[in-house]
Amino acid sequence: MQSAANLVMPIPGLIDPVPVPRAVTPRADGRTDLLGLSRPQIKAVLEEAGLDVKAAKLRAKQLFHWLYHRGETDFEAMTDLAKPMRGWMAERFVVGRPAVVEAQVSNDGTRKWLLRSDDGQDYEMVFIPDADRGTLCVSSQVGCTLNCRFCHTGTMRLVRNLTPGEIVGQVMLARDALGEWPKGNMGSNVAVQDDEDEDAPQYSPDGRMLTNIVMMGMGEPLYNFEHVRDALKVVMDGDGLALSRRRITLSTSGVIPMMARASEEIGVNLAVSLHAVTKEVRDELVPLNKKYGIEELLQACADYPKASNARRITFEYVMIRNKNDSDDDARELVRLLRKYKLPAKVNLIPFNPWPGSDYECSTPDRIRAFSSIVFEGGISAPVRTPRGRDIMAACGQLKSASEKKSRAELDRLAAEKQAALG
């Protein structure tokens, strides 16, 4: 019998196939991109290129420091490597960054980047600055298979998983743009900011404005588990980007078989896209509910090994007018969370509109009333302030600009996905 760790996690339905790890597209110049590789992986490619074991171990440690602690992309700037070694490296390797198709800045300071992979696939990332933190919303897939009806990304087909390098690359690019590398070193690819960024806050490289990461961009992270895990291990490594696991949150729509494994192998904070408290409504909003129901999902949350009063599970709840925002819905939410004795916080998210959406945002008074009922039930229920709406960077709005389909085509794709989910 296979162990749980070895089981392949299928995606529900027959329309979108299981995304499998893809081989990185070879560069035309034959060089290997080191971005996203761990120290053992860097050591392995150095050995493959001809270094002996001892030399490869030393150079891997040096390269890891330059790549992830200093943000350097130019081997000539890696001063603790002998000059001949720098040339040897440059002939065989490269330290890349995602290609920036478009960089936008919202009226509220939120930034959104449209990125393009070497094989021509587009995906997005968003940076949200606040007074006491800066949060990077990172994508894990090109497109999405889940078809959540309130989410713009859900109208896309799943194209493929992002690689560890493409996931880590989003963090590296954000640090480049914010000038956050030690001693102001921003790598050799700092020209990602456009003219609109001139009035943006100039953060000190001695501070860390990029303080938090949320895996809440395009895609379902637990359907790209291995790549997300490997990328986050690089991000959390104390000798590199050194972001604490307590400052990283992984969001899932409820891929139950992978949740415990995520706790064991990644160990970051968990956020669950709940969005409804009845089967009928959640089946509509989050079709994955037809495979893994609310009660089963909440039990998996109760069993989540890292959950505690100090590390509460966050439940995301988008507020949709006359759909999931009644007083009865709020009371049922409290009942469910109490039933499973969950250390929980509920983020109430005003619905963010997008072209062709069938839903409207709950009124401010209705959201306040809903929040009050949940708070009175002893559960924190803050209302999230929408950020980046004017550049389509808010929660549920991310979608590749290159993905343009008619409404009829979107409806047809949605119907196919719904039918496949049963």
- Cβ atoms of residues 336 and 294 within 8 Å: yes
Q: Is 144 known to be catalytic?
A: no
Given 148, 301, 361, 395, the catalytic residue: 395
- Cβ atoms of residues 146 and 287 within 8 Å: yes
How close are the terminal C-alpha atoms of the chain, in Å?
28
- Cβ atoms of residues 26 and 117 within 8 Å: no
Q: Is 151 known to be catalytic?
A: no
The residue type of 36 is: G
Q: What is the DSSP letter of 347?
A: E
Strand ranges across the sheet with 99-105:
99-105, 111-116, 122-129, 134-137, 212-215, 248-252, 269-273, 313-319, 344-350
Given 48, 76, 124, 301, the catalytic residue: 124
392 contact partners, CB below 8 Å, separation of at least 6: 112, 152, 354, 398, 399
In the numeric block, the tokens 């803050």 are attached to 382
How many whole angstroms separate alpha carbon 273 and alpha carbon 252?
6
By annotation, the residues acting in catalysis are 124, 395
